[in-house]
Amino acid sequence: MCKVVYVFFLFVLNVSQASAGGGWTRDSGSVYLKLGATSLTTTSYHGFDGRSMSVNGISTQTIHSYAEFGVDSRTMIVLDAPLFKTSSMENAGSASGITDMGIGFMYGVQKGNWPIALGILLELPLGSPDNFVANSSGELFNLPTGDGELNAWLRGAVSHSFWPAPYYATFEAGYNFRSIAVREFTQRYDGGKLTNNYYVQAEFGYQPLEQLCLIARLKSFGPTLTPTLGRYSFFGLGEGVQYVAYYITAVYNVTEALSINADFSSAFSARAIFGGANLMAGISYTWR
C-alpha cells in the first residue's frame, strides 16, 4: 500500500509543513531522511482583505531537510530543518539565511486499520525577522527568513488504508500557540503578540503502479480570532495569514529505500500572503 512521508516548504502559504504519514508512525529504529528544494516566483500579493494586487517581482528558493526516527513502536521524533533560504525583490536586492526549524514528536495512540497519532512540534526562531533591502529610491523592504517567534503546534491525525484497493485517506488538524517567546525585532510590533493559528486538511493517496504514488491534499489555514493590524507582518510571514490551498504530489520509489518526488501547490483564496505556485523536488531514503 502507498504510504509515504513528504515535506513541503511553502513560501506562498507561509508554513513549513511536514506531513508525517498521517496517523501512521515509524517502527522502532526506522529512520527517514529527505533533502528537497522549493522555488516560487510571483508578482501577486493578497492583502489583509483578501484582494489581490500587483507587486514588484518576488522570487524565493529554499533548500530543506526533514528527518524522522522511530523511538519505539509508537513514538516518532520529527525534525523539520530548512537549511537555507534566499529571497529577492525586483529592483531592490536580495537576502539569504537559515530559516526557522521545527522539532517534535508524534505518538501512535491507536494502531490497526484506523491509526491515530497525536503530537507536538516546536518551531524555533532561528531565521531572521529583519532582512531589509532598499530599491534605487531608498525605499526599504523586509525579506525575512523567519518571523522571530517560538511557537508550539499541537497536532492530531487519523488515517485509513483501503488495502487491497490501492488507496488511503487521512484527516489532520493542528492548533498553534504563538509568541511563547519572540525576538527583539518582532517584539517591536504590539509587544510581539500574534494571533494563534489552526489548520485542517484532508489527504487522499492512490497507487496506480507498484512504484508510483499520487497524492492530493486540501488544506485550510488561518487565525483563530480576527487578526490585529500593527502586529508583525512582512513578506507573507506573521499576523493575519489565511488560505485555502491544494497540493498535488507524485512519489516514485526507485528502490524499496530510495524515492524521488515532485510537488505542486497553490491557493484558492488567501490573505496577507503572496500568490503564485510552489514547485518542489526532493529525494529521500529510508533505513528500516
On whether the pTM is more than 0.85, the answer is yes
- Cell numbers of 86, please? 534566499
CATH superfamily assigned to domain 6-287 = Autotransporter beta-domain (2.40.128.130)
**Residue 21, pLDDT score:** 66
| Residue 54, strand partner residues | 44
Pick the closest to residue 133 from 18, 64, 56 (CA basis): 56
Distance CA 170, CA 5 (A): 13
* Other Cβ atoms within 10 Å of 247 Cβ, number: 23
Burial code of 96-110, b = ≥16 C-beta within 10 A, e = fewer?
A: ebebbbbebbbebee
Is residue 52 within a helix (H) or strand (E), and if so which, with residue range? strand 52-70
Q: What is the pLDDT of residues 139-150, one digit of tens each?
A: 898 999 999 999
Domain boundaries, the chain: 6-287
Pick the closest to residue 227 from 49, 62, 55 (CA basis): 49
Count the helix, strand and coil residues of the chain and give each as a percent rounded to the nearest 5. Answer: 0, 65, 35
**Residue 137, pLDDT score:** 83
- Cell numbers of 203, please? 489527504
- Ranges of residues in the chain with a pLDDT under 70 are 1-21
